[in-house]
Structure 1
Amino acid sequence: MVTPVIELSRIEKEYPGVKPLDKVNFAVRPGEIHALLGENGAGKSTLIRVMGGAIKPNGGSMTYLGKPVSWQSPKQARAAGIHVIHQELALFPELSVAENILVDAQPRSGLGLISSRARHARAAEILSQLGVKISTHAKIDELPLADQQMVEIAKALVGEVRLLVLDEPTAVISGHEVDLLFDNMRRLKGKGVGIVYVSHRLEEIFEIADRVTILKDGQVAGTGPVGDLTRDE
Protein backbone atom coordinates (compact mmCIF):
# COMPACT_ATOMS: atom_id res chain seq x y z
CA MET A 1 0.00 0.00 0.00
CA VAL A 2 1.30 3.45 -0.96
CA THR A 3 2.30 5.66 1.97
CA PRO A 4 0.40 8.98 1.75
CA VAL A 5 2.39 12.16 1.37
CA ILE A 6 0.29 13.54 4.20
CA GLU A 7 -2.38 11.95 6.37
CA LEU A 8 -4.53 13.72 8.93
CA SER A 9 -6.49 11.66 11.43
CA ARG A 10 -9.43 12.95 13.50
CA ILE A 11 -8.22 16.53 13.28
CA GLU A 12 -10.09 19.01 15.45
CA LYS A 13 -9.90 22.78 15.67
CA GLU A 14 -12.08 24.81 17.97
CA TYR A 15 -12.48 28.50 18.66
CA PRO A 16 -14.88 30.10 21.16
CA GLY A 17 -18.36 29.32 19.87
CA VAL A 18 -17.29 27.60 16.65
CA LYS A 19 -15.64 24.33 15.62
CA PRO A 20 -14.38 24.59 12.03
CA LEU A 21 -12.90 21.07 12.07
CA ASP A 22 -14.54 18.13 13.82
CA LYS A 23 -12.61 14.82 13.68
CA VAL A 24 -11.57 15.25 10.04
CA ASN A 25 -9.70 12.47 8.23
CA PHE A 26 -7.85 13.44 5.06
CA ALA A 27 -4.98 11.94 3.08
CA VAL A 28 -3.11 12.73 -0.13
CA ARG A 29 -1.13 10.11 -2.03
CA PRO A 30 2.02 10.71 -4.09
CA GLY A 31 1.17 11.63 -7.67
CA GLU A 32 -2.46 12.37 -6.83
CA ILE A 33 -4.60 15.44 -7.36
CA HIS A 34 -7.05 15.42 -4.47
CA ALA A 35 -9.90 17.92 -4.68
CA LEU A 36 -11.18 19.49 -1.47
CA LEU A 37 -14.74 20.75 -1.79
CA GLY A 38 -17.30 22.42 0.44
CA GLU A 39 -19.34 25.56 0.87
CA ASN A 40 -17.86 28.67 2.39
CA GLY A 41 -17.40 27.99 6.10
CA ALA A 42 -17.16 24.21 5.64
CA GLY A 43 -13.62 24.11 7.06
CA LYS A 44 -11.49 23.95 3.90
CA SER A 45 -9.28 26.93 4.72
CA THR A 46 -8.73 25.76 8.29
CA LEU A 47 -7.71 22.29 7.08
CA ILE A 48 -5.30 23.82 4.57
CA ARG A 49 -3.72 25.95 7.29
CA VAL A 50 -3.29 22.92 9.52
CA MET A 51 -1.46 21.07 6.72
CA GLY A 52 0.70 24.12 6.03
CA GLY A 53 1.63 24.81 9.64
CA ALA A 54 -0.26 28.09 10.01
CA ILE A 55 -2.74 26.63 12.55
CA LYS A 56 -2.14 24.11 15.30
CA PRO A 57 -5.08 21.70 15.77
CA ASN A 58 -6.66 21.08 19.17
CA GLY A 59 -6.82 17.36 18.58
CA GLY A 60 -5.95 14.55 16.21
CA SER A 61 -2.68 13.56 14.56
CA MET A 62 -0.81 14.15 11.33
CA THR A 63 1.84 12.15 9.50
CA TYR A 64 4.00 13.43 6.67
CA LEU A 65 5.96 11.03 4.46
CA GLY A 66 5.10 8.31 6.95
CA LYS A 67 6.36 10.10 10.06
CA PRO A 68 4.35 11.86 12.80
CA VAL A 69 4.67 15.65 12.61
CA SER A 70 3.43 18.69 14.47
CA TRP A 71 4.38 21.83 12.57
CA GLN A 72 5.48 24.78 14.66
CA SER A 73 5.27 27.25 11.77
CA PRO A 74 4.57 27.55 8.03
CA LYS A 75 8.32 27.99 7.52
CA GLN A 76 8.94 24.55 9.02
CA ALA A 77 6.31 22.98 6.75
CA ARG A 78 7.77 24.72 3.68
CA ALA A 79 11.27 23.51 4.57
CA ALA A 80 9.85 19.97 4.62
CA GLY A 81 8.39 20.38 1.12
CA ILE A 82 4.81 21.59 1.74
CA HIS A 83 3.81 24.66 -0.22
CA VAL A 84 0.42 26.34 0.13
CA ILE A 85 -0.61 28.85 -2.52
CA HIS A 86 -3.48 30.98 -1.28
CA GLN A 87 -5.74 33.21 -3.35
CA GLU A 88 -3.82 36.17 -1.93
CA LEU A 89 -0.40 35.54 -3.46
CA ALA A 90 2.58 36.01 -1.14
CA LEU A 91 4.77 37.97 -3.55
CA PHE A 92 6.75 41.18 -3.25
CA PRO A 93 5.28 43.43 -5.98
CA GLU A 94 8.24 45.82 -6.15
CA LEU A 95 10.80 43.03 -6.61
CA SER A 96 11.69 41.15 -9.81
CA VAL A 97 10.44 37.72 -10.79
CA ALA A 98 13.87 36.22 -10.03
CA GLU A 99 14.07 37.90 -6.62
CA ASN A 100 10.63 36.56 -5.70
CA ILE A 101 11.28 33.01 -6.88
CA LEU A 102 14.55 32.76 -4.95
CA VAL A 103 13.62 34.97 -2.02
CA ASP A 104 14.48 32.20 0.47
CA ALA A 105 17.36 30.68 -1.46
CA GLN A 106 19.55 33.40 -2.91
CA PRO A 107 22.55 31.95 -4.82
CA ARG A 108 25.86 33.32 -3.58
CA SER A 109 29.37 33.65 -4.95
CA GLY A 110 32.47 32.18 -3.36
CA LEU A 111 32.80 35.40 -1.35
CA GLY A 112 29.34 34.98 0.10
CA LEU A 113 27.80 37.75 -2.00
CA ILE A 114 24.43 37.32 -3.73
CA SER A 115 24.99 36.52 -7.40
CA SER A 116 22.45 38.35 -9.57
CA ARG A 117 23.49 36.43 -12.68
CA ALA A 118 23.10 33.06 -10.97
CA ARG A 119 19.76 34.15 -9.52
CA HIS A 120 18.31 35.00 -12.93
CA ALA A 121 19.73 31.83 -14.49
CA ARG A 122 18.21 29.63 -11.77
CA ALA A 123 14.84 31.42 -11.92
CA ALA A 124 14.76 31.06 -15.72
CA GLU A 125 15.52 27.34 -15.37
CA ILE A 126 12.60 26.81 -12.97
CA LEU A 127 10.18 28.78 -15.15
CA SER A 128 11.32 26.70 -18.14
CA GLN A 129 10.41 23.54 -16.21
CA LEU A 130 6.90 24.95 -15.87
CA GLY A 131 6.74 25.70 -19.58
CA VAL A 132 6.09 29.41 -19.08
CA LYS A 133 7.87 32.37 -20.65
CA ILE A 134 8.17 35.18 -18.13
CA SER A 135 11.05 37.62 -17.97
CA THR A 136 13.00 37.08 -14.76
CA HIS A 137 13.77 40.82 -14.74
CA ALA A 138 10.12 41.91 -14.79
CA LYS A 139 8.64 43.42 -11.62
CA ILE A 140 5.76 41.43 -10.12
CA ASP A 141 3.36 44.38 -10.26
CA GLU A 142 3.92 44.54 -14.03
CA LEU A 143 2.64 41.00 -14.57
CA PRO A 144 -0.92 39.72 -15.16
CA LEU A 145 -2.35 37.62 -12.35
CA ALA A 146 -1.86 34.37 -14.26
CA ASP A 147 1.88 35.01 -14.53
CA GLN A 148 2.05 36.01 -10.88
CA GLN A 149 0.45 32.69 -9.99
CA MET A 150 3.09 30.83 -12.01
CA VAL A 151 5.81 32.75 -10.16
CA GLU A 152 4.25 31.57 -6.89
CA ILE A 153 4.31 27.97 -8.13
CA ALA A 154 7.91 28.45 -9.29
CA LYS A 155 8.82 29.49 -5.74
CA ALA A 156 7.58 26.09 -4.56
CA LEU A 157 9.94 24.33 -7.00
CA VAL A 158 13.10 25.95 -5.65
CA GLY A 159 13.34 23.18 -3.07
CA GLU A 160 11.90 19.69 -3.27
CA VAL A 161 8.13 20.11 -3.20
CA ARG A 162 6.30 17.01 -2.00
CA LEU A 163 2.85 18.51 -1.34
CA LEU A 164 1.36 21.45 -3.24
CA VAL A 165 -1.87 23.03 -2.02
CA LEU A 166 -3.77 25.30 -4.42
CA ASP A 167 -6.59 27.34 -2.90
CA GLU A 168 -9.07 28.51 -5.55
CA PRO A 169 -6.33 29.14 -8.15
CA THR A 170 -8.78 29.67 -11.02
CA ALA A 171 -10.72 32.41 -9.25
CA VAL A 172 -8.54 35.03 -10.96
CA ILE A 173 -7.66 33.33 -14.27
CA SER A 174 -9.56 31.84 -17.19
CA GLY A 175 -9.28 30.17 -20.59
CA HIS A 176 -5.74 29.42 -21.74
CA GLU A 177 -4.36 30.38 -18.33
CA VAL A 178 -6.40 27.60 -16.68
CA ASP A 179 -5.18 25.12 -19.31
CA LEU A 180 -1.59 26.09 -18.54
CA LEU A 181 -2.17 25.69 -14.81
CA PHE A 182 -3.70 22.24 -15.32
CA ASP A 183 -0.82 21.18 -17.60
CA ASN A 184 1.64 22.10 -14.86
CA MET A 185 -0.42 20.32 -12.22
CA ARG A 186 -0.31 17.17 -14.34
CA ARG A 187 3.44 17.61 -14.84
CA LEU A 188 4.00 17.83 -11.08
CA LYS A 189 1.66 14.89 -10.50
CA GLY A 190 3.79 12.86 -12.92
CA LYS A 191 6.82 13.61 -10.73
CA GLY A 192 5.07 12.15 -7.69
CA VAL A 193 3.98 15.42 -6.08
CA GLY A 194 0.76 15.22 -4.08
CA ILE A 195 -1.61 18.08 -4.90
CA VAL A 196 -4.58 19.42 -2.94
CA TYR A 197 -6.92 21.38 -5.19
CA VAL A 198 -9.63 23.60 -3.72
CA SER A 199 -12.32 24.88 -6.08
CA HIS A 200 -16.03 25.65 -6.27
CA ARG A 201 -16.09 24.85 -9.98
CA LEU A 202 -17.27 21.26 -10.33
CA GLU A 203 -16.41 21.03 -14.02
CA GLU A 204 -12.75 21.56 -13.08
CA ILE A 205 -12.90 18.76 -10.53
CA PHE A 206 -14.02 16.23 -13.13
CA GLU A 207 -11.30 17.40 -15.50
CA ILE A 208 -8.27 17.48 -13.20
CA ALA A 209 -8.85 15.58 -9.93
CA ASP A 210 -8.30 11.90 -9.09
CA ARG A 211 -10.07 11.86 -5.73
CA VAL A 212 -12.36 14.21 -3.89
CA THR A 213 -13.16 14.92 -0.25
CA ILE A 214 -16.22 16.97 0.63
CA LEU A 215 -16.41 18.94 3.86
CA LYS A 216 -19.67 20.10 5.41
CA ASP A 217 -19.90 22.00 8.69
CA GLY A 218 -16.39 20.95 9.68
CA GLN A 219 -16.89 17.24 9.03
CA VAL A 220 -16.12 14.93 6.11
CA ALA A 221 -19.35 14.35 4.19
CA GLY A 222 -17.71 11.94 1.78
CA THR A 223 -14.50 10.97 0.00
CA GLY A 224 -13.72 8.79 -2.99
CA PRO A 225 -12.53 8.59 -6.61
CA VAL A 226 -13.90 11.35 -8.80
CA GLY A 227 -14.85 8.78 -11.45
CA ASP A 228 -17.26 7.10 -9.02
CA LEU A 229 -19.27 10.29 -8.43
CA THR A 230 -21.78 12.28 -10.41
CA ARG A 231 -22.15 16.05 -10.38
CA ASP A 232 -25.34 15.75 -8.30
CA GLU A 233 -23.65 13.52 -5.75
Structure 2
Amino acid sequence: MTADTPAASPKGSSATEADHREGDQRVLVVDDDPQIVRALRINLSAHGYHVIVAVDGRSALRAAGDTHPDLVVLDLGLPDLDGGDVIAGLRGWTSVPIVVLSARTDSADKVAALDAGADDYVTKPFGMAELLARLRAAIRRAATADGDGEVLVEFGAVQVDLQRKRVRRDGADVHLTPTEWGMLEMLVRHRGKLVGQREMLRHVWGPRHEDRTNYLRVYLAQLRRKLETDPAHPRHLLTEPGMGYRLES
Protein backbone atom coordinates (compact mmCIF):
# COMPACT_ATOMS: atom_id res chain seq x y z
CA MET A 1 0.00 0.00 0.00
CA THR A 2 1.33 3.41 -0.88
CA ALA A 3 0.20 6.82 0.30
CA ASP A 4 -3.28 7.48 -1.07
CA THR A 5 -2.81 11.15 -1.96
CA PRO A 6 -3.79 12.77 -5.25
CA ALA A 7 -0.11 13.40 -5.96
CA ALA A 8 2.47 10.73 -6.75
CA SER A 9 4.47 9.48 -3.78
CA PRO A 10 8.15 10.51 -3.59
CA LYS A 11 10.60 8.46 -5.63
CA GLY A 12 13.56 6.78 -3.98
CA SER A 13 11.81 6.07 -0.67
CA SER A 14 13.21 3.17 1.32
CA ALA A 15 9.89 2.48 3.02
CA THR A 16 7.98 -0.65 2.05
CA GLU A 17 4.90 -2.37 3.43
CA ALA A 18 2.64 -5.37 2.93
CA ASP A 19 -0.92 -5.09 1.69
CA HIS A 20 -3.26 -3.40 4.18
CA ARG A 21 -5.56 -5.67 6.11
CA GLU A 22 -8.60 -3.89 7.50
CA GLY A 23 -8.51 -3.57 11.28
CA ASP A 24 -4.77 -4.20 11.68
CA GLN A 25 -2.68 -1.86 13.79
CA ARG A 26 0.14 -0.39 11.73
CA VAL A 27 3.67 -0.52 13.18
CA LEU A 28 6.47 1.42 11.50
CA VAL A 29 9.80 -0.35 12.08
CA VAL A 30 12.80 1.94 11.53
CA ASP A 31 16.07 -0.01 11.48
CA ASP A 32 18.86 -0.65 8.97
CA ASP A 33 19.81 -4.07 10.35
CA PRO A 34 18.24 -6.69 8.02
CA GLN A 35 18.23 -9.40 10.70
CA ILE A 36 16.42 -7.18 13.21
CA VAL A 37 13.93 -6.08 10.56
CA ARG A 38 13.26 -9.67 9.52
CA ALA A 39 12.73 -10.83 13.11
CA LEU A 40 10.40 -7.94 13.87
CA ARG A 41 8.43 -8.37 10.67
CA ILE A 42 7.88 -12.09 11.29
CA ASN A 43 6.94 -11.73 14.95
CA LEU A 44 4.81 -8.61 14.63
CA SER A 45 2.94 -10.03 11.63
CA ALA A 46 2.34 -13.26 13.53
CA HIS A 47 0.69 -11.21 16.28
CA GLY A 48 -1.65 -9.42 13.91
CA TYR A 49 0.26 -6.20 13.27
CA HIS A 50 0.59 -4.63 9.84
CA VAL A 51 4.32 -3.92 9.44
CA ILE A 52 5.81 -0.97 7.56
CA VAL A 53 9.61 -0.80 7.22
CA ALA A 54 11.98 2.14 6.77
CA VAL A 55 15.76 1.70 6.74
CA ASP A 56 16.78 5.31 7.36
CA GLY A 57 15.51 8.44 9.06
CA ARG A 58 14.29 10.36 6.03
CA SER A 59 12.26 7.47 4.65
CA ALA A 60 10.89 6.90 8.17
CA LEU A 61 9.55 10.45 8.33
CA ARG A 62 8.04 10.09 4.85
CA ALA A 63 6.47 6.74 5.75
CA ALA A 64 4.99 8.15 8.96
CA GLY A 65 3.43 11.02 7.05
CA ASP A 66 2.10 8.70 4.35
CA THR A 67 0.77 5.78 6.40
CA HIS A 68 -0.01 7.20 9.89
CA PRO A 69 1.16 4.22 11.94
CA ASP A 70 -0.30 3.35 15.32
CA LEU A 71 3.21 2.80 16.71
CA VAL A 72 6.84 3.46 15.73
CA VAL A 73 9.71 1.11 16.69
CA LEU A 74 12.86 3.17 16.20
CA ASP A 75 16.59 2.42 16.20
CA LEU A 76 18.74 5.42 17.12
CA GLY A 77 21.75 4.47 14.98
CA LEU A 78 20.47 5.21 11.48
CA PRO A 79 22.68 5.81 8.43
CA ASP A 80 21.45 9.34 7.64
CA LEU A 81 19.81 10.90 10.70
CA ASP A 82 20.23 10.32 14.39
CA GLY A 83 17.21 8.66 15.93
CA GLY A 84 16.75 11.68 18.18
CA ASP A 85 16.22 13.85 15.11
CA VAL A 86 13.61 11.40 13.85
CA ILE A 87 11.79 11.60 17.18
CA ALA A 88 11.85 15.40 17.01
CA GLY A 89 10.59 15.32 13.43
CA LEU A 90 7.68 13.08 14.39
CA ARG A 91 6.80 15.02 17.51
CA GLY A 92 6.48 18.16 15.42
CA TRP A 93 3.15 16.91 14.12
CA THR A 94 2.07 13.59 15.67
CA SER A 95 1.67 11.98 19.09
CA VAL A 96 2.10 8.41 17.77
CA PRO A 97 3.73 6.17 20.43
CA ILE A 98 7.47 5.74 19.81
CA VAL A 99 9.37 2.79 21.29
CA VAL A 100 13.14 3.10 20.88
CA LEU A 101 14.97 -0.17 20.17
CA SER A 102 18.68 0.57 20.39
CA ALA A 103 22.09 -0.90 21.18
CA ARG A 104 22.95 2.30 23.07
CA THR A 105 22.89 1.45 26.76
CA ASP A 106 24.23 4.68 28.24
CA SER A 107 21.70 6.34 30.54
CA ALA A 108 22.33 9.70 28.86
CA ASP A 109 21.11 8.29 25.53
CA LYS A 110 17.98 6.93 27.19
CA VAL A 111 17.24 10.22 28.92
CA ALA A 112 17.79 12.17 25.68
CA ALA A 113 15.45 9.91 23.71
CA LEU A 114 12.72 10.04 26.35
CA ASP A 115 13.06 13.81 26.72
CA ALA A 116 12.80 14.17 22.93
CA GLY A 117 9.42 12.43 23.04
CA ALA A 118 9.97 8.66 23.00
CA ASP A 119 7.46 6.67 25.06
CA ASP A 120 9.71 3.73 25.95
CA TYR A 121 13.29 2.53 25.48
CA VAL A 122 14.37 -1.09 24.92
CA THR A 123 18.04 -2.06 24.60
CA LYS A 124 19.48 -4.64 22.19
CA PRO A 125 19.74 -7.58 22.50
CA PHE A 126 16.13 -7.89 23.55
CA GLY A 127 13.56 -10.57 24.31
CA MET A 128 10.74 -10.65 21.80
CA ALA A 129 8.08 -11.41 24.43
CA GLU A 130 9.11 -8.37 26.48
CA LEU A 131 9.20 -6.13 23.42
CA LEU A 132 5.73 -7.24 22.35
CA ALA A 133 4.42 -6.52 25.85
CA ARG A 134 5.94 -3.03 25.75
CA LEU A 135 4.38 -2.36 22.35
CA ARG A 136 0.96 -3.44 23.60
CA ALA A 137 1.34 -1.20 26.64
CA ALA A 138 2.34 1.80 24.52
CA ILE A 139 -0.67 1.34 22.24
CA ARG A 140 -3.01 0.96 25.25
CA ARG A 141 -1.68 4.15 26.84
CA ALA A 142 -2.17 6.04 23.60
CA ALA A 143 -5.72 4.75 23.17
CA THR A 144 -6.60 5.77 26.73
CA ALA A 145 -5.08 9.24 26.33
CA ASP A 146 -6.86 10.02 23.06
CA GLY A 147 -10.34 11.48 23.25
CA ASP A 148 -10.50 11.23 27.06
CA GLY A 149 -10.94 7.48 26.71
CA GLU A 150 -14.08 7.67 24.55
CA VAL A 151 -13.77 5.14 21.74
CA LEU A 152 -17.30 4.89 20.28
CA VAL A 153 -18.70 8.01 18.66
CA GLU A 154 -21.98 8.31 16.75
CA PHE A 155 -23.34 10.97 14.42
CA GLY A 156 -26.44 10.50 12.31
CA ALA A 157 -26.51 6.88 11.16
CA VAL A 158 -22.73 6.54 11.51
CA GLN A 159 -20.82 4.83 14.32
CA VAL A 160 -17.05 5.30 14.60
CA ASP A 161 -14.96 2.93 16.72
CA LEU A 162 -11.71 4.81 17.35
CA GLN A 163 -9.96 1.89 19.00
CA ARG A 164 -10.70 -0.66 16.27
CA LYS A 165 -10.53 1.91 13.45
CA ARG A 166 -13.92 0.74 12.27
CA VAL A 167 -16.76 2.73 10.71
CA ARG A 168 -20.35 1.56 10.29
CA ARG A 169 -23.33 3.26 8.65
CA ASP A 170 -26.84 1.96 9.16
CA GLY A 171 -25.27 -1.14 10.70
CA ALA A 172 -23.07 -1.95 7.70
CA ASP A 173 -19.29 -1.66 7.61
CA VAL A 174 -17.88 1.25 5.58
CA HIS A 175 -14.43 0.83 4.04
CA LEU A 176 -12.23 3.93 4.36
CA THR A 177 -8.76 4.43 2.95
CA PRO A 178 -6.02 5.33 5.47
CA THR A 179 -6.22 8.98 4.40
CA GLU A 180 -10.01 9.09 4.72
CA TRP A 181 -9.70 7.50 8.15
CA GLY A 182 -7.05 10.04 9.18
CA MET A 183 -9.35 12.95 8.32
CA LEU A 184 -12.42 11.39 9.95
CA GLU A 185 -10.51 10.44 13.09
CA MET A 186 -9.27 13.99 13.59
CA LEU A 187 -12.73 15.44 13.06
CA VAL A 188 -14.26 12.90 15.45
CA ARG A 189 -11.69 13.60 18.16
CA HIS A 190 -12.41 17.34 17.82
CA ARG A 191 -16.13 17.09 17.08
CA GLY A 192 -18.00 20.33 17.47
CA LYS A 193 -14.74 22.28 17.11
CA LEU A 194 -13.11 23.87 14.09
CA VAL A 195 -10.12 21.94 12.72
CA GLY A 196 -7.95 24.31 10.68
CA GLN A 197 -6.82 23.45 7.18
CA ARG A 198 -3.10 23.51 8.00
CA GLU A 199 -3.69 21.50 11.18
CA MET A 200 -5.56 18.84 9.22
CA LEU A 201 -2.93 18.68 6.47
CA ARG A 202 -0.13 18.42 9.02
CA HIS A 203 -1.90 15.63 10.92
CA VAL A 204 -3.02 13.55 7.93
CA TRP A 205 -0.34 14.16 5.30
CA GLY A 206 2.59 15.42 7.37
CA PRO A 207 4.39 18.78 7.61
CA ARG A 208 5.56 18.72 3.98
CA HIS A 209 1.99 19.12 2.67
CA GLU A 210 0.62 22.08 4.64
CA ASP A 211 -0.17 24.06 1.48
CA ARG A 212 -2.03 21.25 -0.37
CA THR A 213 -5.56 22.41 0.44
CA ASN A 214 -6.86 20.65 -2.67
CA TYR A 215 -6.22 17.35 -0.88
CA LEU A 216 -8.76 18.32 1.76
CA ARG A 217 -11.52 19.06 -0.75
CA VAL A 218 -10.97 15.78 -2.57
CA TYR A 219 -11.01 13.56 0.50
CA LEU A 220 -13.77 15.37 2.36
CA ALA A 221 -15.97 14.90 -0.72
CA GLN A 222 -15.17 11.18 -0.61
CA LEU A 223 -16.06 10.99 3.08
CA ARG A 224 -19.35 12.76 2.46
CA ARG A 225 -20.27 10.32 -0.30
CA LYS A 226 -19.66 7.42 2.08
CA LEU A 227 -21.14 8.84 5.29
CA GLU A 228 -23.67 11.62 4.58
CA THR A 229 -27.28 10.88 3.65
CA ASP A 230 -27.19 13.78 1.18
CA PRO A 231 -23.55 14.47 0.26
CA ALA A 232 -24.51 17.65 -1.62
CA HIS A 233 -26.10 19.06 1.55
CA PRO A 234 -24.01 17.63 4.42
CA ARG A 235 -25.33 17.77 7.97
CA HIS A 236 -22.30 16.41 9.82
CA LEU A 237 -19.07 16.91 7.83
CA LEU A 238 -19.11 20.69 7.49
CA THR A 239 -16.80 23.17 5.77
CA GLU A 240 -15.95 26.53 7.33
CA PRO A 241 -14.93 28.45 4.17
CA GLY A 242 -11.34 29.65 4.24
CA MET A 243 -10.75 28.23 7.73
CA GLY A 244 -11.24 24.49 8.03
CA TYR A 245 -13.72 21.74 8.87
CA ARG A 246 -16.03 20.67 11.65
CA LEU A 247 -17.92 17.51 12.63
CA GLU A 248 -21.38 18.12 14.06
CA SER A 249 -23.21 15.22 15.71
- TM-score between both structures, scaled by the size of structure 1: 0.30
- Structure with bigger helix share is 2
- Which structure is higher in strand share? 1
TM-score, length of structure 2 as denominator length: 0.28
